[in-house]
Amino acid sequence: MSEWTPEGTAAEPAVRRPVALRARLSAAGRATLRLGRAVLDTALPPVCLACRRPVADDHALCVTCWGGLAPIERPFCERLGTPFSFDLGEGALSAAAIADPPPYDRARAAVRYGDVAGDLVHALKYRDRGEVAALMGTMAARAGRDLLSDADALVPVPLHPRRLWTRRFNQAAAIADVVGRSAGVAVDPFALERVRPTPHQVGLDKGERADNVRGAFRVPAGRRPAVEGRRLVLVDDVLTSGATVAAATKALKRAGAARVDVLVFARVVQGEGI
């Protein structure tokens, strides 16, 4: 009987030898990775994504900052995604959604905009802290499950090329990439373009914000087939007055989008403006 025949007892060590060798190599590899991680943690210990205090794991929040986030969960307005203080029943709309319905179909946000959420937004947008996008995108994907279940594509709100050049990346696209991987939905960063540079919205009232972004977006002629008849989800970091996503939605719907929803990490709730 051949030494490599599996039935014989003499063959068993020969059959097992490659498996045992691979197991020893895998164990050695894991030990090396653990050692490398220990050295790295000693030199550069993990810190909270928001306050930068030491934490146990990479890309995490400390207990205090996690507690400082205010998740938006049901019950909320079906159209605007703004939280209700009590349950008004399935599909309920807020007074604001009834009085002044937005051009987009539905909006969802993971958390209210507050101190900790603001720290995360600014870390990603202004401090090149790309690792923050993973947490923000994961939370946004969880909050937007009902929007994502039948979406055809995610469209990050674009920056004007001049601002993209100075900032070097689009925070909305970074979040959309994480949401897309989590939900299994394609990201189309070229479906929409910002054709007019606009000043920052901070400090403007609702009317001024709307004027600031009016006509700022368009769907390039070559991208219209990718928009027409499709169910799209606009992705951004923060929803404040809604002026930016409203202008972007109008551009997508003019190009024939069948539905446009909005998904953000944080949103300002009335009375808690920035």
Going by pLDDT thresholds of 50, 70 and 90, the confidence category of residue 263 is: very high
Per-residue pLDDT for 189 more than 70? yes
Look at residue 152 in the predicted model and tell me its pLDDT: 98
DSSP β-ladder status, 217-218 and 193-194:
antiparallel
CA–CA distance, 144 with 140 (Å, rounded to integer): 6
- Whole-number average pLDDT of the chain: 85
Q: What are the structural domains, with CATH classification, of the chain?
A: 72-267 (3.40.50)
CB-side exposure of 190: number of CA atoms within 13 Å? 7
Going by pLDDT thresholds of 50, 70 and 90, the confidence category of residue 58 is: confident
Q: What is the pLDDT of residues 175-188, one digit of tens each?
A: 999 999 999 999 99
Sheet strand arrangement including 153-156: 107-112, 259-267, 231-239, 153-156
> For residue 199, is the peptide bond before it cis, meaning its omega torsion is within 30 degrees of 0?
no
Phi and psi of 259, rounded to 5°?
-155, 140
DSSP β-ladder status, 259-267 and 231-239:
parallel
Look at residue 74 in the predicted model and tell me its pLDDT: 94
CA–CA distance, 92 with 110 (Å, rounded to integer): 19
Look at residue 12 in the predicted model and tell me its pLDDT: 39
Per-residue pLDDT for 8 more than 90? no
Identity of the amino acid at 180: G
Look at residue 10 in the predicted model and tell me its pLDDT: 40
**Rounded mean pLDDT of 232-244?**
96
Per-residue pLDDT for 137 more than 80? yes
* Length of the chain in terms of residues written: 274
Q: What is the pLDDT of residues 194-231, one digit of tens each?
A: 998 776 666 666 777 777 788 889 999 999 999 999 99
Per-residue pLDDT for 14 more than 50? no
Determine which of 168-172, 219-223, 262-266 has the lowest per-residue pLDDT on average: 168-172
Going by pLDDT thresholds of 50, 70 and 90, the confidence category of residue 24 is: low
Going by pLDDT thresholds of 50, 70 and 90, the confidence category of residue 274 is: low
CA–CA distance, 148 with 55 (Å, rounded to integer): 32
Going by pLDDT thresholds of 50, 70 and 90, the confidence category of residue 15 is: very low
Going by pLDDT thresholds of 50, 70 and 90, the confidence category of residue 35 is: low
Per-residue pLDDT for 40 more than 50? no
Give the DSSP letter of residue 273.
Answer: -
* pTM for the predicted model, two decimal places: 0.81
Per-residue pLDDT for 5 more than 90? no
